[in-house]
A and B are shown apart, each in its own frame.
Chain A
Amino acid sequence: MVASNDMARRSFFGRATQFLGGLIAGGLGIPAAMYLLRGPKTIAPGGYVDAADLSQMKPRVPEEVSFQRIRKDGWKLISEKSTAWVVKLSETEVAAYSPQCTHLGCAYHFEETKGEFICPCHATNFSIDGEVLNGPAPRPLDRYPVKVKGTRLLIGTIESAKPASTKMGA
């Protein structure tokens, strides 16, 4: 009887020790895991950047424009050069395409004689509306969100930038 009482006490202290140890490990481990695995709450640096003067552009003739964009790199704001293919599709619609082919991310160019965008890597042709005419590209050219202020074109950022051809898990 004495022995079993002693055993019970031993296992009580043992269990209690394990329980408290578990609480501490959880208290440190769970916040640390969230800290490392959840992305930063990004405070997006300014959305739209002044990129081009629309009054200088001919309708349905794409032009490659370059502009400076501020990007967040960890705790730093970095200013970097970006480009876009801008085209006045109609009097009311302007499109700005990301300069990378939607297949594997090559830089494409505009072939004036054909009036099409051509990616040299795997010969994808895009119409000036961004649609795939032929070739392996899986989807139309990515469009930047745009705003028009007077004659100026403002270019925003593409939400959740997708890699060129494959989709990463969410």
Chain B
Amino acid sequence: MMRTLIDWIEDRTGLISTVEHFMNEEIPASSGWKQVFGSVAMFLFLVQAFTGVMLGLNYGPTPGEAYSSLRYIMNELSNGALIRGLHHWGSSAMVIVVVLHMVQVFLWGAYKKPREATWLAGVVLLLFTLGFALTGYLLPWDNRAYWGTVVTTQIAAGVPVIGPYILRLMGAEDGVGVVTFARFYAAHVLILPAVTFLMIVFHVYLVRRHGVAPEPGDELVPTQKFYPKQVFKDTFAIFVAFAVLFTLAVAVKAPLGRLADPTDTTFIPRPEWYFQFLFQLLKYCEGPLELFATVVLPGLAVGGLFAVPFMDRTPLVKVTRRTTAFAAVLLCAIGWGGLTAAAVIETPKSAALAEAMGPMDWVELTPVEMAGVGYFQKERCGQCHTLGLADEDKSGPNMGTGGVTRDVPWMVAHFKKPGTPMATMSLKPAEMNALASFLIKLTPQNAVKMSEVPQFAWEGAIVYQKNHCGVCHQVNGAGMNNGPALNGLARRRKADWVKEHFKNPQKFDADSTMPSYKFSERESEAITGYLMALP
């Protein structure tokens, strides 16, 4: 029965003999563990394709939706976090394995005649892999994605002559926006998968055409067959790679920061770890040297890779005698490793973590955001919206659990014209802006803490905001520098001094340009208390 089925398939399609032919390929006796990387790279590509399709089934590919849908995938769908984790860490794994594959081929000199074209196709595949990484980076649409892509597009814009055209091609002429997103998304899910697949087929075809590269001495011993030993070694390596990737995806949650905020100037963009060496190099290169790090060096590197099989035309020798090749790899590894290490050391430890969790304490908020806390309280938003994780019976969306998925303009428009059962507000536009700027800082980690801001602090911040203190003073990096910064005021002045100073600043300093303020007792108490509490 089984026999007849197999015979039928073979007769009608020839598939069985094709697979057998593929499995029985003659490979050199020296083949073994060192040749597994190509198979692992191809496997990882398939994992990326599979998990990518899975993500695509629940992903809204436009800027705002992208973020909310990804959050939905990670928080609300079974194994959603795992699948995103596999895709996220899989991209890193793929870069690693593709590079290892290339290093192996390079060290053994497997690119030599007649395998030059195989090598060239491989370099193109490396570029496609990096293209996937670059375009995929934007798709979560969190701050990391947005600002990282801003830097990428700026670097592209700096390329002499063709820079503006690259920028236009990226849809980023007027900054990173919906068009950029559409271009990156289309490249990531339409163009790159298709061309990468075709290039893999071409690459594998060339490997078959020329056979696995032999080592000197292989011509003296009989060949072995691809199946079963080498197939097992490839599968074992694939399994190890998968086990590592799976463990990583389970153990380390793929990052998803706050919704992209184009007005957040405090965010320091950082590229993926494998691009950090360029990021670091860019720090050392200033002015015209910048082009060296952004264009010249990457250009030379890619050009050099393409040129490898044409520069080295020496006959095949044993790998142990290829000292120049080893030196070249070592040099690259030291350069890359050193710069990456420097970048890692210089990264503030908690930068990434702090970004994802948002400000954890109210003293870290700017006065405008603090005033927003006040408007949240004054408008009794808490009657319908829970801040934090408590699952209370309230009619409006919980502002804590899901994180905030809307941007400031949307929120302000929503405050003005809710279009939902939400009550309209009595706030002025500036006050609505303050409220929105506070809400966008909410994360599942900090929301509960933000519901516990003491009343004097938010009352004080409202006084601060209403009297435009920020026009002259700075708090937590926000505001102007015409007057003294107000952080640490408690170390310099006593509360009574501050209260008296509001009434008549010139009494303390005849040259002071600060106007006098007639605060009510309560206002004076609140703003003084707020300012004295600032670290």
Residues of A within 8 A of B (CB): 9-10, 13-14, 16-17, 20-21, 23-24, 27-28, 31-32, 34-36, 38, 40-43, 45-50, 67-70, 74-77, 79
Which of these, B47, B77, B398, B421, contacts A43 with CB under 8 Å? B398
Q: A23-B239, A27-B246, A50-B421 are in contact. Are A16 and B77 (CB under 8 A)?
A: no
The CA of A127 and the CA of B60, in the complex, are separated in Å by 46
Decide if A27 touches B232 in the complex (CB within 8 Å): no
Q: A17-B232, A43-B401 are in contact. Are A24 and B395 (CB under 8 A)?
A: no
Interface string of B236-255 (1 = CB under 8 A from A): 10110010001000000000
Does B69 interact with chain A (Cβ within 8 Å)?
yes
6 smallest beta-carbon distances between A and B, as pairs:
A75-B72, A13-B228, A46-B395, A79-B420, A31-B79, A13-B232
> Which of chain A's residues has its CB closest to B237's CB?
A20
What residues of B have a CB within 8 angstroms of the CB of A75 in the complex? 58, 60, 65, 68-69, 71-72, 76, 405
The smallest C-beta distance from B159 to any residue of chain A, in angstroms, reads: 38
Decide if B228 touches A14 in the complex (CB within 8 Å): yes
The CA of A49 and the CA of B384, in the complex, are separated in Å by 10
Decide if A32 touches B232 in the complex (CB within 8 Å): no
Chain B contact residues (Cβ within 8 angstroms of A): what range?
Answer: 35 or more
Decide if A40 touches B76 in the complex (CB within 8 Å): yes
Which of these, A17, A21, A70, contacts B397 with CB under 8 Å? A70
The CA of A17 and the CA of B60, in the complex, are separated in Å by 38
Does B57 interact with chain A (Cβ within 8 Å)?
yes
Q: Is the contact region of chain A dominated by helix, strand, or loop, or is it mixed?
A: mixed
Decide if B420 touches A68 in the complex (CB within 8 Å): yes
Decide if B79 touches A35 in the complex (CB within 8 Å): yes
Decide if B231 touches A47 in the complex (CB within 8 Å): no
Does B80 interact with chain A (Cβ within 8 Å)?
yes
Which of these, B229, B239, B394, B420, contacts A24 with CB under 8 Å? B239
Which of these, A67, A76, A79, contacts B419 with CB under 8 Å? A79
Q: Is the contact region of chain B dominated by helix, strand, or loop, or is it mixed?
A: helix
What residues of A have a CB within 8 angstroms of the CB of B421 in the complex? 49-50, 67-70, 79
What residues of A have a CB within 8 angstroms of the CB of B54 in the complex? 32, 35-36
Q: A46-B384, A46-B397, A48-B393 are in contact. Are A24 and B242 (CB under 8 A)?
A: yes
Most chain B beta carbons < 10 A, residue from A27, A31, A36: A31
Does B175 interact with chain A (Cβ within 8 Å)?
no
Decide if B60 touches A20 in the complex (CB within 8 Å): no
Does B275 interact with chain A (Cβ within 8 Å)?
no
Decide if B395 touches A50 in the complex (CB within 8 Å): yes
Which residues of chain B in 390-406 are interfacial with respect to chain A, using CB atoms and an 8 Å cutoff? 393-398, 401-402, 405
Which of these, B47, B72, B246, contacts A74 with CB under 8 Å? B72
The CA of A27 and the CA of B82, in the complex, are separated in Å by 11
What residues of A have a CB within 8 angstroms of the CB of B50 in the complex? 28, 32
The CA of A50 and the CA of B393, in the complex, are separated in Å by 13
Q: A70-B397, A75-B71 are in contact. Are A31 and B83 (CB under 8 A)?
A: yes
The CA of A20 and the CA of B243, in the complex, are separated in Å by 11
Most chain B beta carbons < 10 A, residue from A14, A27, A35, A75: A75
> Which of chain A's residues has its CB closest to B240's CB?
A20
Which of these, B76, B228, B396, contacts A46 with CB under 8 Å? B396
The smallest C-beta distance from A16 to any residue of chain B, in angstroms, reads: 6
Q: Knowing that A43-B76, A43-B398 are A-B contacts, what are 10 other residue pairs whose CB atoms are under 8 Å apart, sorted by A's residue number?
A: A16-B236, A21-B235, A23-B239, A35-B83, A41-B78, A47-B393, A70-B395, A75-B68, A75-B76, A79-B420
